[in-house]
Amino acid sequence: MKDEKRSPVIHVESASGDDVLLTEWGQELFKSSLKLVNDVLIQMISLASLLLTAALGFLERIGVGKPWQLPVFILLLTVIIVSMIGLVPMYAEIDVRDPDVLRRFRAEILRKKRLALWINTSLLTGAFLCAIIGVTTRS
């Protein structure tokens, strides 16, 4: 008899109900997390726009000193800009057949959007602090 080359036999087990549930849950969790982060960034644009408009009209009337008005304006405008940058979709060439590449890409998307949220939180806090200091140190 001739030695025939045989391909190895691959045994495949079907996924258990728990595995399917966890996989579907993980996919939905990513989608909902991405939607939530995007919604918060959109709301930050609205909030910062409203605060910037109010600041332009009322900071001087409520007694915020001139040296503190410009930082408030700049910080609020920066919140709007960072939010818009955070909403820009991320593109990359990835191999969709490799689950590790997909996981890393999804994690990178969420990491950058969360970074935009933390930067905006810091900027908004800075704007409020500048306004408070401006009111307490009226010149």
Question: Is 110 a member of any domain?
Answer: yes
Q: How does the average pLDDT of the chain come out, rounded?
A: 86
Distances (CA, A) of 67 to 19, 126, 135, 137: 60, 14, 11, 10
Number of compact structural domains in the chain: 1
Q: Is the pTM of this model over 0.85?
A: no
pLDDT of 99 higher than 60: yes
Residue 113: predicted pLDDT = 93
Per-residue confidence at 15, pLDDT binned at 50, 70, 90?
low
Residues 6+ apart with CB under 8 A from 138: 63, 64, 65
76: containing domain: 17-136
Determine the Cα–Cα distance for residues 83 and 38; give it in Å rounded to an integer.
Answer: 9
Tokens 């908004």 label which residue?
124
Q: In this structure, what are the phi and psi dihedrals at residue 88, rounded to the nearest 5 degrees? A: -65, 130
Question: Is 2 a member of any domain?
Answer: no
Question: Is 9 a member of any domain?
Answer: no
Per-residue confidence at 91, pLDDT binned at 50, 70, 90?
confident
Question: Is 34 a member of any domain?
Answer: yes
Residue 7: predicted pLDDT = 67
Per residue in 16-75, pLDDT (tens digit) is: 777 666 677 777 877 888 899 999 999 999 999 999 999 998 988 888 888 899 999 999
Residue 92: predicted pLDDT = 81
Determine the Cα–Cα distance for residues 56 and 79; give it in Å rounded to an integer.
Answer: 16
Determine the Cα–Cα distance for residues 33 and 28; give it in Å rounded to an integer.
Answer: 8
Residue 26: predicted pLDDT = 72
Average pLDDT over residues 104-126: 94
Question: Is 5 a member of any domain?
Answer: no
Per-residue confidence at 128, pLDDT binned at 50, 70, 90?
very high
